[in-house]
Structure 1
Amino acid sequence: MIEEQTQQGILQWFKGSIVVKLAFIAFLTLVLLIPSVWVDGLITERSARQNEIISDVSDKWSGPQQIKGPVLIIPYKKQVRTKDASQKEVITEVTDNLYILPNDLKINSDIRSSKLHRGIFDVIVYNTLVKVTGNFVKADLAKLSIDPAQLMPAKAHLAFSITDLKGLKTNPVIKLNGQSLSAEPIFSRGSAFESGLQVAVALPDAVPDQIPFDFTLDLKGSQDLSFLALGKTTEVTATGDWAAPSFDGRSLPNQRNVTATGFNAHWKMLYYNRPFPQEWTGNDNLLANVSKLEQASFGVKLRVPVDQYQKTTRTSKYSALIILLTFISLFLTEVIRRHRIHIFNYLLIGAAMIVFYTLLLSFSEHIGYNYAYLVAAVATIGLISSFMASLFKDGKAAAMFAAILSLFYGFIFVIIQLEDLSLMVGSIALFIIVATLMYFSRKINWDQH
């Protein structure tokens, strides 16, 4: 009999103990992190699907474009000394190439953007006219140990490339040294201009001191447009109608102006930091070096600054905090009002808060993050507060709890919208929340059985 009473006493203590209840709440919070991870995986999957759609549409339209060149290439003859099988010296005449980069390179680009739709996804594409002008100057042949008589200027050609030739809408006409020439594709595999164009230009035997060039590219692309600083002086001006451009690459614009209707940016690059010499001989592998190309590349990206998947991912990172704060608020309400809430009800409320993130993700794909957050938050708060009203049989208590949840979800929304001040605002808010919990915890009898 005594043993049975003891067991019943332990059971009653187990059911009514505040410490045990808090331990269950902590355990339940950890358990609910498992579906939170599943939600994160779902967000990643949808984001990856978006990237696949962007890649597929870009491939069919035309991918990101980079303007490389132009480069003037002049063949020359040189003698190579070798030894035959009898160790006799043999002199062979071979043809090599002299590569000359522009002295002045000016590029002007006017970018007109638009959106292509594939299902619920949008892909940013553009059309642009890129005007390229400049000049080449006579190479310092003495520095390269080349005799002017070795040059074959009549067989010279100019080469340049863009990343995706499919984006060319018209065949470029190159004006070079007073000649108008139609460009032809380069089919040489392994060349730095493999996806490029070239024109053959017959220069006079006495190569001019300056060789001006001028051509316009009418092309289309997706998301990115970049340039290479190949000139001794490179000036690039880019204008467009995209209101949220991102300037990236090794160099930022010297001048920029971004408004609600578009942008304009201007770069001026000198050759001091350019990773290429002004002229060299041999092959064009120097212009195929990925590291050097990255050092010389700069441009503009036409992308949505922060899409709904990035914001939803950031929001989901606060799931544990929201669940914990909600459970603590519910626990304090339970203790202060002396109305016991079963642990299963905690589980249902936690499940409702997890569903909040799936609602947010699904609605944000159709109506945008901000409106989706409002819909998901109102639905979740309404569901939980209605459930609380049925548990407490008290509309005021449910309304108060709805206000607490609104404060929590509003706090998270503000944190997501902020960038530079998010850490400071979040820290201050958490300090206030902890102080509030400390104040209300004074009314709890921790020795209660």
Structure 2
Amino acid sequence: MEPENSHPPLKNTNALIIKLCVITALILLLLIPSSWIQSMIDERESALQATQHNTANRWSASQTLRGPVLVIPYTELDGKVNAQQQLFVLPENLNIRASVKTKLFHRGIMDATVYQSKIQVSGNFLRSALAQSGIKPGNFQTDKAYITFGLTDLKGLKSNPVIELPGQRVAVQPIFNEHALFDSGLQAGIRLPDAENIPFNFTLDLNGSEALNFLHTGKTTDVTINSDWKSPNYGGYYLPDSHSADSSGSTAHWRILYYKRPFPQQWTNNNTLLSGDKADSEALFGVKFRLPVDQYRKTMRTTKYSSLIILLTFVSLFLTELIRRQNIHVFNYILIGAAMVIYYTLLLSFAEHIGYDWAYLISSVATISLIAWFTASLMHNRSVAVLFGGILAFFYGFIYVIIQLEELSLLMGSIALFFIVAALMYFSRKINWERHY
């Protein structure tokens, strides 16, 4: 016996096939606004990156420490002219201890990560490097020797660094020489000690944003970074030998030897060796202080499942109307599809203000409730609407779990889809496709 107020059933197989084709076309058409929403997410994320870049320009950019390097001028007879040259010597041992405190700058609904750091740099040079260079000892101008190092953004310095050597404390000065070793560098003139071992140390009070990197310039480079950032991302050519993270922050340690480093321990007259693309790609390492997965990336990943959600919803609704023997007009499918597309704009707009998780809950509850109420009014049956709402809740819950899982997302997604297809097979077996009802 047919339920009261039911719509007229489909009359024949041709009508059923036509409706299936129309529903398929609707699913394909709904992919168009879904792509628009993805473009909107890209636009909002670009606005976030612009805000972060603007904040970095005002606070300080991502910082990279290059060096230090011992530079010793020397002269060579070039025809009848004594041409001035330079010998560059890297540290035998380089030890860096960095302590980093991060904070978020809020610009409207946009956030940017910045940090304050105290970086203690120590190590030693060997005077024997002069003899190993093959240059005549009398050609060196040791009274003009200096130590230099580079930073990405000198604006981030909050105090004037002082390099300490045996019997010397020398404040550094910015470099304005276009032929300098570093584009944004500092240097301190020193008296080159006569001893074989030349220890040094200095401290940097340095502001930066998003990342802190170091260039592997020591024959042995030993770096430790302690920060209050709970989810660091270690990047560059070298991963840390050890690292840990907990509720109080994170720690990472590198100990790197000079084998396979893209530049030698000493060289002459090449002032681009430590700032070229090869040095950056094969000798740079450090940590990034970024939000693990921000709301835009999560929302973008969610929208990529929109076609799957719409397909499963329409299939479930179609099977429901066949089993219930109640015809749902195509226009009602359009309205339900529109609600499912608007869901993603709700998710994006709420995520910008209250975070992805709460936005997902609010948007899902609102959309599921709306569609369940609409289904109940169409079929005049609350139990069917509750069942259909439960199906939608399962779909959205399934997508949320997939988004949260990183490494297991493919496995869990494949298993869940297998059971969904199995369920559709189970319920579709009750349908007589020849008679429909």
The answer to whether TM tops 0.5 is yes
Does the CA-based 8 Å contact 1:125-1:220 persist in structure 2?
yes
Identify if the C-alpha distance between structure 1 residues 290 and 190 changes in structure 2 by more than 3 Å, giving closer, same or farther: farther
After TM superposition, give the deviation of residue 233 of structure 1 in Å.
0.8
Q: Does the CA contact (< 8 Å) of 1:318 and 1:412 recur in 2? A: yes
1:220 deviates by 0.5
User: CA offset at residue 143 of structure 1?
Assistant: 4.3
How much has 1:448 moved relative to structure 2? 3.5
Distance 2:12 2:344 in 1: 34
The structure 2 residue matched to 1:373, chosen from 351, 360, 369, is 360
Q: Do the aligned residues in 2 keep the contact of 1:158 with 1:198 (CA within 8 Å)?
A: yes
270-279 vs 317-326, greater mean Cα deviation: 270-279
Q: In the TM superposition, what are the counterparts of 1:254-269 in structure 2 within 5 Å?
A: 254-269=241-256
Output the amino acid matched with 2:322: V
* Match of residue 406, structure 2, among 419, 427, 438: 419
Residue by residue, what CA displacement relative to the aligned partner does 1:145-199 show, whole Å, maximum 9, x if unpaired?
3111111100111111110000000111111232111111001225331211101
Counterparts of residues 358-437 of structure 1 (less than 5 Å): 358-437=345-424
Distance 1:237 1:115 in 2: 23
Note the alpha carbon deviations across 1:49-68, whole angstroms, 9 max, x for none: 11000000011000100111
Q: Describe how 1:3-402 pairs up with structure 2 within 5 A.
A: 17-81=15-79, 91-189=80-178, 191-203=180-192, 207-402=194-389
Moved more, 364-373 or 12-21: 12-21
Deviations 1:413-444 (CA, angstroms, capped at 9, x unpaired): 11111111111111111111111111111222
Q: What secondary structure is seen at the aligned counterpart in 2 of 1:253?
A: coil
Amino acid in the other structure paired with 2:418: F
SS at the partner of 1:286? coil
Q: In percent, how many aligned pairs have the same letter?
A: 52
1:224 Cα shift? 0.3
| Partner Cα distance (2:361, 2:130) in 1 | 70
What number of residue pairs does the alignment pair up?
Answer: 427
* 1:328-352 per-position Cα deviation (integer Å, ceiling 9, x unaligned): 1100110111111000000000000
Single out whichever of 282-291 and 243-252 deviates more from structure 2: 282-291
Question: Structure 1: any 5+ residue segments left out of the alignment?
Answer: 1-11, 82-90
Q: Which amino acid aligns with 1:421?
A: L
Deviation, structure 1 residue 447: 2.4
For structure 2, which runs of at least 5 residues remain unmatched after alignment?
A: 1-9
TM-score by length of structure 2 reads 0.95
Contact 2:262–2:278 (CA under 8 A) maintained in structure 1: no
The answer to whether the 8 A contact 1:106-1:234 is kept is yes
User: Counterparts of 1:170 and 1:14 in 2: how far apart (Å)?
Assistant: 84
CA distance in 2, matches of 1:67, 1:130: 10
What's the CA shift for 1:141? 4.2
Residue 75 of structure 2 aligns with an amino acid whose one-letter code is: K
**Does the aligned pair in 2 maintain the 1:110–1:239 contact within 8 Å?**
yes
Moved more, 140-149 or 389-398: 140-149
How far apart are the structure 2 equivalents of 1:108 and 1:416?
A: 37
- Separation (CA, whole Å) in 2 of partners of 1:52 and 1:429: 39
Which protein has the larger Cα radius of gyration, Structure 1 or Structure 2? Answer: 1
Distance 1:354 1:15 in 2: 31
Asked if the contact 1:132/1:215 (under 8 Å) is kept, the reply is yes
CA distance in 2, matches of 1:197, 1:142: 26
